[in-house]
Amino acid sequence: MSTQIKSSKDFAALIDLVQNNPHDPYFKMKVMEVLPQIKAGAKNNPLALYHLAKIYSPQSSLYRKTIIEAAELGSTNALFDAYKLLSKSNQSNDQQQAKKYLAAIYQSKDSFIINCLNDYLRSDSLTNQITTKNENYSPRFFNTASESLEAMEFKQDYSPSEPSL
């Protein structure tokens, strides 16, 4: 008994079930049944290709290749994921490609993805600010020389004098 998937959205829902229940063999078996159907549909459907990428680990080369391919075909979801993936890279080619995807997202006028992107950019900016502050922070257990001199002068000026007998 074969499962038929009517759309890539149905496949995405099935992938979500697998991701939420990673040890359930039933859902994995269902994905394997419909995988050829989804691969065939993904050849001319960027959204189906984007959903297909979700079966791979986000750190894998297959995920990267599939997301970039879907982004090149114009899926705004894939453009967003490709931007996130490539903007974290240290390679200049990836950075340039990420900027290209950023521009493509804004040109698409997809309000949902643009809102997601803006939220991501804000949170990424805050994360960078926090990281920068933490990198510059160093607890000081010992005062600098000038602070030590000031403290010693303060103690001398304001310390109670010894009672005279």
Q: What is the pLDDT of residues 110-136, one digit of tens each?
A: 999 999 999 998 887 666 655 555 555
- Unique residue bearing structure tokens 């959204």: 47
**For position 33, what pLDDT does the model report?**
83
Residue-wise over 59-95: b if at least 16 C-beta within 10 A, else e?
eeeebbebbbbbbbbebbbbbbbbbbbbbeeeeeebe
pLDDT per residue over 33-54, tens digit each? 878 887 887 888 888 889 888 8
Burial of 100 (0-12, 13-18, 19+ CB in 10 A): middle
pLDDT per residue over 12-33, tens digit each? 787 777 778 777 888 778 878 8
C-alpha dihedral sign at 123, 127, 133, 136? negative
H-state helical runs in the chain: 8-20, 25-42, 46-53, 61-72, 76-87, 92-108, 111-136, 145-158
Mean pLDDT over residues 85-110, rounded? 92
Confidence of residue 11 (pLDDT cuts 50, 70, 90): confident
**Is residue 60 over pLDDT 60?**
yes
